[in-house]
């Protein structure tokens, strides 16, 4: 049972004016107790609220005892809404931007509006608060001194392959978003790309009643979720790569020669890089950089955009 928050009418007076300001208000990612007093005050004081999902935001506003116009702003209408937001700000209105949950603009719409407002000279004020990225990171038991947030995982094709290779070679802890339905596939692909001994933490239903963290190696996490189908919102934190040994000149020459031969045989650059790394025992990210730098052979026909038979 969630503990209620004082209605806006009983909150302390606001500490800053709202006129002509665009506020980026962080909202709870699951537990309504996580809304800050400042966020509640701003939401109750502005002239209107821009929300990715007006229904979810209305639940939060009702919980706070706030009656406020809520206007939709999502990926399909953001471009069209931007000029209207600029008109409101120019007229001196206070506008709050929220996402479905957490900190706005983190894998959510709003960047166009923020850039336009800043370019027009309006104040853009962040109202810090909940974040699934930071919540998962600090509870992952993995290094937090340096990290990279890569958002949602591409679903297929060369883009996904490059994405997985980037994680495999990352020198920082990596935080990802993925749907529960595709978590098993992601863990299987990460196991292949990074090796089964790379550590991972999967945060599920963060801040909610059924919050759960699964920590261990990628192989262990894959087995766990093959036996226990996940549900709800998922955030994945992947351990950074071990510092790879440096390749000497002979290794580089051999890698380039083998990669060139494999590409001539019809393999895509990314698949050739994986094969070279496997055969020669070299770091995948290093080999991938070398393969990307290869000059195309003069007489080689261009590879089909869809990768041809390399599937």
Band (pLDDT 50/70/90 cuts) for residue 295 is low
Would you state the pLDDT for residue 274?
Answer: 84
Domains 8-130 and 133-238 share a fold: no
The answer, yes or no, to whether residue 156 has pLDDT greater than 90, is: no
Band (pLDDT 50/70/90 cuts) for residue 277 is confident
Predicted confidence (pLDDT) per residue in 111-141, tens digit: 999 999 999 999 999 999 999 999 999 999 9
The answer, yes or no, to whether residue 17 has pLDDT greater than 80, is: no
Would you state the pLDDT for residue 73?
Answer: 95
Q: Can you identify the CATH homologous superfamily of domain 8-130?
A: Tetrapyrrole methylase, N-terminal domain (3.40.1010.10)
What contacts 223, CB < 8 A, 6 or more positions away? none
- % pLDDT > 90, the chain: 67
d(CA 125, CA 68): 19
Helix (H, G, I), strand (E, B) or coil at 281: coil
The answer, yes or no, to whether residue 16 has pLDDT greater than 80, is: no
Closest residue by Cα to residue 202 from 285, 141, 144: 141
Would you state the pLDDT for residue 7?
Answer: 53
Under 8 Å between Cβ of 275 and 262:
yes
- DSSP per-residue codes, 92-144: T--EEEE-SSBSTTSSSS-HHHHHHHHHTT-EEEEE----HHHHHHHHTTS--
The answer, yes or no, to whether residue 92 has pLDDT greater than 80, is: yes
Closest residue by Cα to residue 126 from 42, 67, 59: 42
Can you tell me the mean pLDDT for 13-27? 74
Closest residue by Cα to residue 40 from 50, 51, 28: 28
What contacts 7, CB < 8 A, 6 or more positions away? 64, 65, 66
Please report, for the chain, the start and end positions of each structural domain, with discontinuous segments joined by +: 8-130, 133-238
119 CA to centre of own chain:
25
Would you state the pLDDT for residue 296?
Answer: 56
Q: Can you identify the CATH homologous superfamily of domain 133-238?
A: Tetrapyrrole methylase, C-terminal domain (3.30.950.10)
What contacts 249, CB < 8 A, 6 or more positions away? none
Average predicted confidence (pLDDT) for the chain: 87
């Amino acid at each position: 049972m969630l503990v209620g928050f004082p209605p806006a009418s009983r909150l302390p007076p606001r500490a800053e004016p709202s006129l002509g300001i665009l506020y980026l208000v962080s909202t709870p990612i699951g537990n309504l107790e996580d809304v800050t007093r400042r966020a509640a005050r701003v939401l109750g004081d502005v002239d209107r609220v821009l929300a990715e999902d007006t229904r979810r935001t209305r639940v939060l506003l009702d919980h706070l005892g706030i009656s406020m116009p809520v206007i939709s702003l999502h990926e399909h209408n953001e471009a069209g809404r931007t000029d209207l937001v600029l008109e409101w700000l120019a007229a001196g209105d206070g506008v709050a931007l929220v996402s479905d949950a957490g900190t706005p603009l983190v894998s959510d719409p709003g960047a166009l509006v923020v850039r336009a407002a800043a370019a027009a000279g309006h104040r853009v004020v962040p109202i810090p608060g909940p974040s699934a990225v930071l919540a998962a990171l600090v509870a992952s038991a993995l290094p937090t001194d340096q990290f990279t947030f890569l958002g949602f995982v591409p679903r297929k094709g060369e883009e996904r392959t490059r994405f997985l290779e980037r994680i495999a070679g990352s020198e920082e802890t990596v935080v990802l978003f993925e749907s529960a339905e595709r978590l098993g596939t992601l863990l299987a692909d990460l196991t292949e790309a990074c090796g089964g001994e790379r550590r991972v933490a999967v945060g599920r239903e963060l801040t909610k009643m059924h919050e759960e963290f699964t920590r261990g190696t990628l192989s262990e996490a894959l087995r766990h979720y093959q036996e226990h189908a996940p549900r709800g919102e998922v955030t994945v934190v992947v351990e950074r790569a071990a510092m790879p040994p440096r390749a000497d000149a002979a290794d580089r020459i051999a890698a380039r020669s083998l990669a060139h031969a494999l590409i001539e045989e019809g393999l895509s650059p990314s698949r050739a890089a994986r094969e070279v790394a496997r055969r020669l025992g070299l770091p995948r990210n290093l080999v991938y950089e070398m393969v990307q730098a290869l000059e195309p052979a003069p007489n080689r026909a261009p590879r089909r955009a869809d990768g041809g038979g390399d599937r």
